[in-house]
Amino acid sequence: MAGIGFELRKVLGKGGIGGTVGAIVSGIFVVAGPWLISVLSMVVLQAAFSRIRFEGVLVFQATIVYSYAVSLSLSSGFQHHFTRIIADLSWEGRNGEATAWMLRFAGIVALASLAVSVPVASLMPLNISGDVLLYRISIVILFAAINVAWIVILFVSLLRGFMVISAVFALGMTVSIVGAVLLAGLRGVGGALYGYAVGVLVLDGAFIALALQRYPPRRPADGWAAFGTYTRRYRALILSGIGFYAGQWLDKFYFWAVRGSSVNGTPFRVYEAYDYPVYLAGLTIIPGLVYFTIITETQLFTDLKHFLFSLNSASWTKIQKAKMRVIHSLKRELRDQSLLQAAFSLAFAALVLTYGPPGFVTVELWLAMGAAFAQFTLLTILVFLYYFEQYDKALVTAGAYFVMNGVGGAVAYSLLPWLPAGAGHLLAGLVACAIGYAILRISVYRMDRIIFQRAVGV
C-alpha cells in the first residue's frame, strides 16, 4: 500500500481542512474498506430492516459474517501471492502486466470460490421463508464477489486516485444497502442477500474498470510461468498470510461451534456475547491502520530504499549510517503508531463507559479490544519482516499465532470453561508479537550481512 500512502501523505503535507479530511477518509476506505462496508452496512440495514419488519435479519447477518470469515481464511494465500507478483512488476514499471495479473488472479479466485461455494450452497439444509433458490444462488455470488474484491482492492494502491477509490467504496456500499432493503420485502432473505451481493459486484466492476483505464493490460513477458515460480519461491510468504488471516478467526469458529446458538432454519451458529465485541474492536484499530498506511509504511519504504541504494557504491561507514537510520525509523514509527492507537482505544473505552447502554460493556469487549490492538501490531511486524524478505521468519511468527489461537485456544477453553471469550486471542497476539519483534530486531541489525551473503550465494 506504499503507493497510495505516498499520495495521501502528499495531500496531508499541503494542509487545508478539505484535503486533510479527504486524505484521512480515503485512507480509512483503503485500509479497511471491505470490513468497514460490512459493519456500517449492517448498522444501517439493522435500522432499515426493523422499519419494514423484515424477519430474516439474523439469517442475513450470519450469512454475511460467515462469507467474510471463510473468505479471508481461505483466500489470504492468494492475496499474498498476488501482492508479491504485482509488487515486483510495479517496481519495474510494468503496470500493464500487473493489470493482466490482476485479471488472472480475479479469475482464479472466482473459479476457486465457485468450487467451494456451489456444493456448500446446494447441499446446506435450509428452512427459511422467501425464495430459497435465490438465497442459495446469492451465497455463491456473494462469496465469489468478496474474494475478487480482496484482489482488486490490493491493486488499487497502484491507481493512487484516492478520491475515486473512496467514491467507489461509497457507491458499492450504497448499492448494497439499497438493494438489500428493496429486495428484502419482495423476495425475503434471499432477495436481501442478492441485493447486498450486487453492491459488492459493483465495487469489483468499478475497480476493474478503473484499472483497465489507468493501466491497459499487457501480456506478461513470461506468460503464466511466474505463477509457479512465485509459488515455489515465496511459499513461506503465502503460508504466513494464511497463518495470520485464518488464525484470527479460529477462536470465533470455536465459539460458534461449541458455545454458539443456532440460527433458525440454517446450519449457521452465532455467539453474540463475543461476536459484537469483535466487530466493534475491529473498528477501533482503523486509526492505527490509516497511520500505518500513510506514515509508517511510507517512511520505512523511503529509508529502506536509501539503504539499499547505499549498498551499491557507498562506503562502509555510510552503509552503517543508512542501516541505523532504518533501525531508528522502525522503532520510532512502531512506538508512535502504538501510542496513537492506544489513545484512540482509550477514547473509545471512555465513550462506551460513559454512553454505552446497560450490559454493553463486558469483559469480552475489553479482551476483544486488546486482542485487536495486538493483532494490528502483529500485522505491522509481519509487514516489516516482508519488507526485509524474512519470509521464513514471518511464517514462524504467523504460525505461532495460528496454533495458539486455534489448537491452544480450543484446549484452554475446554479445560477452563470459565475463561472469557477473547482471552486466548489476546494471549496469542501478544506472544506472536513478542516472537515477531525479537526476530525482526535480530534481522534488522544483520540486514547488510544478510544481503551480502545472498549476493554471493551463501
Q: Are residues 41 and 133 in the same domain?
A: yes
Are both 312 and 434 inside the same structural domain? Answer: yes
Same domain, 162 and 293: no
Range of the structural domain that residue 160 is part of: 2-233
What's the DSSP call for residue 130?
Answer: B
* pLDDT tens digit sequence for 285-328: 877 777 777 777 777 777 777 777 777 777 778 777 877 888 88
Does 428 lie in the same domain as 344? yes
294 and 221 fall within a common domain: no
Of 233, 254, 272, the one marking the end of a domain is 233
* Three-class DSSP category at 269: strand
Nearest to 437 by CA among 392, 379, 369: 379
Domain boundary among 212, 233, 254: 233
Which residue's entry shows cell 446450519? 267
Number of domains making up the chain: 2
Q: Which residues contact 380 (CB under 8 A, 6 or more apart)?
A: 292, 296, 334, 337
Are 226 and 306 in the same domain?
no
Summarize pLDDT for 351-376 with one digit per residue, the tens: 888 877 777 778 999 999 999 999 99
How much helix, strand and coil, in percent to the nearest 5, is found in the chain?
A: 85, 0, 15
Same domain flag for 189 and 307: no
Whether 273 maps to a domain, the answer reads no
Q: What is the reported pTM?
A: 0.87
Helix H or strand E encompassing 424: helix 423-445
Q: Is residue 240 part of a domain?
A: no
Nearest to 299, CA basis, from 332, 321, 277, 324: 332
What is the pLDDT at residue 311?
72
Residue 27: predicted pLDDT: 53
| 47 exposure class (CB count in 10 Å sphere: 0-12, 13-18, 19+) | exposed
282 Cα distance to chain centroid: 11
Does some domain include residue 73? yes
pLDDT in tens, the chain (458 residues): 444 443 444 444 444 444 444 555 555 555 555 666 666 677 777 777 777 778 888 899 899 989 989 998 998 899 889 988 888 888 788 889 999 999 999 999 999 999 999 999 999 999 888 789 999 999 999 999 999 998 988 887 666 666 777 788 888 888 988 898 888 888 889 999 999 999 999 999 999 998 898 899 999 888 899 999 999 999 999 999 999 999 999 999 999 999 999 998 899 999 988 988 888 888 788 777 777 777 777 777 777 777 777 777 777 787 778 778 888 888 888 888 889 889 988 888 888 888 777 777 789 999 999 999 999 999 999 988 988 888 999 999 999 999 999 999 899 999 998 999 999 999 999 999 999 999 988 888 777 666 665 555 55
What was the pLDDT predicted at 16? 45
206 & 120 share domain:
yes
Our separate counts of H helices and E strands in the chain read 18, 2
286 with 229, same domain: the answer is no
Contact 34, 245 (CB under 8 A): no
Give residue 6's pLDDT: 39
Task: Find all residues with CB under 8 Å of 452, minimum gap 6, and list them.
Answer: 311
Within-domain flag for 393:
yes
Q: Is 238 part of a structural domain of the chain?
A: no
247 belongs to a structural domain: no
- Asked if residue 413 belongs to a domain, the reply is yes
Q: List helix spans (H) across 286-422.
A: 286-291, 297-313, 316-355, 363-387, 391-403, 409-415
Q: Look up residue 287 and give its three cell numbers.
A: 486509526
pLDDT for position 286: 77
Length in residues, the chain: 458
Whether residue 142 sits in one domain with residue 287 = no
Q: Are residues 426 and 360 in the same domain?
A: yes
Is residue 443 classed exposed, middle or buried when 0-12, 13-18 and 19+ CB atoms within 10 A define those classes?
A: middle
In a domain, residue 54? The reply is yes
Q: Choose the final residue of a domain: 201, 216, 233.
A: 233
CA of 95: how far to CAs of 86, 129, 154, in Å? 8, 48, 14
DSSP structural state of residue 220: -
Between CA 47 and CA 143 the distance in angstroms is 24
Same domain, 365 and 443: yes
